[in-house]
Amino acid sequence: MEVFLFGIAKDIVGKSDLDLSSIKQKPNTVGELIHFMNDSYPEFANLSSLAVAVNGEYASLEMPIQSNDEIAIIPPVSGG
Amino acid sequence: MQKPIIEIVDTINTAVVYDELSDAQSGGICVFVGTVREFTNNETVVSLQFEAYKSMALKEMHKIAEKASIKWPLNKIVMRHAVGSKKVQEAVVVVGVSAAHRVECFEACKFLIDTLKASVPIWKKEIFKNKSIWVSAHP
């Protein structure tokens, strides 16, 4: 399971993608992934918001995630 | 409505947008250009760095254009955002529409930029002389 990181999320983790295939308890939902990120990298808790995109679409906390999904952490956007 | 022009590019050429939106059925064109401002809270900005989740950003921009075309009778739409490092006064985003009348032009153009800023996965880092900050990251 690979998670893409952008903006400040990339800075917090220190790389542009995170491989979760080796962790014991893989997150099964978007909510569990956010929980995992907050636990592993406490700086995420300080952000204004944190969203997750699954296959290029904003996903709800209940959305199940699978290893072949394209998953991305979306910190607060600031385009324009 | 004609197929919208939606792009993420390295450099924005503001000179082409008039021709892209010009249209025989339209009585007006509205364009918003976002540019790099020199000061944020009295601190001198050296540059802005933009990063995009390109495939999703394009998808979101298409959704916004589609919503606008349902809400208002538009003839043409352009949405173009830059990525990379941009210096003071450089254009970073351009959105525009053409339509039969000005009211829908102004309203749709405002909707395009407001919605882009709220939902499109693009991030901006302000580079100051001694620090850099991801805009809006923290409350």
pLDDT in tens, A32-59: 999 999 999 999 999 999 999 999 999 9
Interface contact B59, partner A, CB < 8 A: yes
**Average pLDDT score over residue span B103-128:** 98
Query: Is B123 close to A53, i.e. CB distance below 8 A?
Result: no
State how far the alpha carbon of B17 is from the alpha carbons of A16, B10, B37, B114, in Å: 33, 16, 21, 19
Burial of A32 (0-12, 13-18, 19+ CB in 10 A): middle
Q: What distances in angstroms separate CA B39 from CA B82, B89, B92, one per listed residue? A: 20, 11, 16
| Domain annotation covers residue A79 | no
Number of domains in chain A: 1
- Residue at B84 is within a domain: yes
What is the domain-level CATH number for residue B113?
3.90.1170.40
The answer as to whether B138 is a domain residue is: no
A9 lies in a domain?
yes
Residue of chain A whose alpha carbon sits nearest to that of B50 = A79
- Structure tokens that stand for B105 in this block: 């032009």
| A:41-60 residues touching chain B, CB 8 A cutoff | 46-48, 53, 56-58
Amino acid present at B127: I
The distance of B130 to chain A (nearest Cα, Å) reads: 17
| Chain A residues whose beta carbon lies within 8 Å of the beta carbon of residue B131 | none
In a domain, A80, yes or no: no
Which residue from A minimizes the CA distance to B80? A80
Please name the member of B55, B122, B137 whose beta carbon is closest to the beta carbon of A79.
B122
CA B22 distance to own-chain centroid: 18
In percent, the amount of chain B with pLDDT more than 90 equals 99
Q: Which of B56, B113, B124 sits opposite A78 (nearest CB)?
A: B124
Number of domains comprising chain B: 1
**What is the extent of the structural domain holding A66?**
2-74
- Please tell me which of the candidates A10, A74, A80 has its beta carbon nearest to residue B121: A74
Residues of A in contact with B118 (CB under 8 A): 77
Q: Could you tell me the CATH number of the domain that includes residue A6?
A: 3.10.20.30
Residues in chain A: 80
Q: Between residues A2 and A62, which one has the greater pLDDT?
A: A62
Instruction: Enumerate the β-bridge partners of residue B91.
Output: B35
Task: Give the residue numbers spanning the domain of B92.
Answer: 5-132
Say if A30 falls within a structural domain: yes
Q: A53-59: long-range contacts at Cβ-Cβ below 8 A with a sequence spacing of 24 or more?
A: A53/B53, A53/B56, A53/B121, A54/A30, A56/B55, A56/B56, A56/B59, A57/B56, A57/B59, A58/B119, A59/A30
Q: Is residue B137 part of a domain?
A: no
A31 touches chain B (CB under 8 A): no
Report the pLDDT value the prediction gives residue A1, as an integer from 0 to 100. Answer: 84
What are the φ and ψ backbone dihedral angles of A76, each rounded to 5 degrees? -50, 125
Query: pLDDT tens digits, residue range B76-100?
Result: 999 999 999 999 999 999 999 999 9
* Nearest Cβ partner for B137 among A53, A57, A76: A76
> Is A49 among the domain residues?
yes
Assess if residue B70 is contained within a domain.
yes
ipTM score: 0.95
Say yes or no for a CB contact (<8 Å) between B53 and A6: yes
